[in-house]
Copies of this chain bind each other. A is one copy, B any other.
Amino acid sequence: MSRHFLQIPGPTNVPDSVLRAMSAPTIDHRGPEFAALGLEVLRDIRPVFGTEGPVVIYPASGTGAWEAALVNTLSPGDKVLCFETGHFATLWQEMAGKLGLDVEFVPGDWRRGADPEAVLRHLSADTGHTIKAVCVVHNETSTGVTSRVPAVRAAIDAAGHPALLLVDTISSLGSIDYRHDEWGVDVTVAGSQKGLMLPPGLSFNAVSDKALHASRTAGLAKSFWDWAPILAANERGFFPYTPATNLLYGLREALRLLYDEGLDAVFERHIRHAEATRAAVRGWGLEVLCADEREHSAALTAVIVPDGYDADKIRAIILDRFDMSLGSGLGRLAGRVFRIGHLGDFNDLTLAGTLAGVQMGLTLAGVPIDPRGLNDALERLQTP
């Protein structure tokens, strides 16, 4: 009975009004009504990326936009610099390898973001400019760590290196402050099902002039992901092949919700909820996975389970008894952490219910915790 608590770090809870918007009849994607819709969403998607440039919208889920960022800008054998910040960073560099790129993967402990000093070090050493792109996951969905993109940008600049900066914002866009133009990002990769509060099925590439320039000579084979025909058709609000019309209806409504609340207010809300969540975790006497205070994610919190307890069993109890889904530990974190998503369409009382469910689940699983953790969270929530 009653609504499931979908507290994985995405897909997130889709607002009712977005679901309703998506249930409007599909229209002719070559007719004037569609053109108006297309022009509207292509214009209104830009502020959430912090860009005045073009944003390519794919009728595909986020992984596709990873591929699009690579195949549009790079050539076979190009070297890319990646950082092992977690499971998704690992998958992205694997994809780069499969597509024929030469990946330099800087190891990490899955508790920290991409290290700006490592960026500086690698790029400074690359005097021949063989590195063509630096790939950073802004918010690591597997760890709850947010890399400091402005510092990465500064490191690239300090090295005087021409590499492109490709950033994955799949689980941060619309939840955590992000500035494609100001931070000098070349391709921003995003998806619909997290901060944008849509079901999965749309993904995005925000594209800088430099990336656009690179795309003209990039040699990786591409057709579906090719920016050029899309950007050409977008001029009049159309797409070169059938777009995901009903998700675009939802996108229009989701953007309206975000801008009605105000992006700054949205980001503040996420920070507040993340702080309340960490207050609960620490109040319980448990440890947050993210090891650097500067890098706590505002979108999700990964919680380390004490030795001797299985995070997946705790999650199973919580799902069974309280009908709440939490994120599992992925890759090397399997069984050792669970992840609480607190992003997207979310409010204080739903967070309180979420944390109450975690507290009860930990108790039922026998994990020794201090039940005052929840009240610590409420104290944070009582402050605006």
Q: Decide if A199 touches B349 in the complex (CB within 8 Å).
A: no
Partner of A17, one of B15, B24, B349: B24
**A52 close to B (CB within 8 Å):** no
Q: Decide if A26 touches B245 in the complex (CB within 8 Å).
A: no
Give the residues in chain B near A191, CB-CB below 8 Å.
242
Closest CB in chain B relative to A111 CB, distance in Å: 22
Number of copies: 4
Considering residues A4, A10, A27, A351, which has the most beta carbons from chain B within 10 angstroms of its beta carbon? A4
Partner of A371, one of B19, B23, B345, B378: B378
Q: Which of A113-121, A146-154, A286-294, A357-365 contacts B (4 or more CB under 8 A)?
A: A357-365
Q: Decide if B25 touches A23 in the complex (CB within 8 Å).
A: no
Give the residues in chain B near A359, CB-CB below 8 Å.
378
**A29 close to B (CB within 8 Å):** yes
Cα A350 to Cα B5 in complex, Å, equals 9
Closest to A226 in B: B98
Give the residues in chain B near A321, CB-CB below 8 Å.
348, 384
Closest CB in chain B relative to A354 CB, distance in Å: 7
Q: Decide if B221 touches A62 in the complex (CB within 8 Å).
A: no
Contact residues of A between 52 and 104, Cβ < 8 Å to B:
58-64, 66-67, 76, 94-95, 98-100
Cα A349 to Cα B100 in complex, Å, equals 48
Cα A247 to Cα B384 in complex, Å, equals 36
Q: Decide if B95 touches A223 in the complex (CB within 8 Å).
A: yes
**A375 close to B (CB within 8 Å):** yes
Q: Decide if B201 touches A59 in the complex (CB within 8 Å).
A: yes
List 28 A-B pairs, Cβ < 8 Å: A1-B15, A2-B15, A3-B345, A3-B347, A3-B350, A10-B242, A11-B26, A14-B25, A16-B23, A16-B24, A19-B25, A22-B22, A26-B200, A30-B328, A59-B60, A59-B61, A63-B242, A99-B221, A199-B247, A322-B347, A348-B357, A349-B357, A352-B352, A352-B360, A353-B353, A353-B356, A371-B375, A372-B375
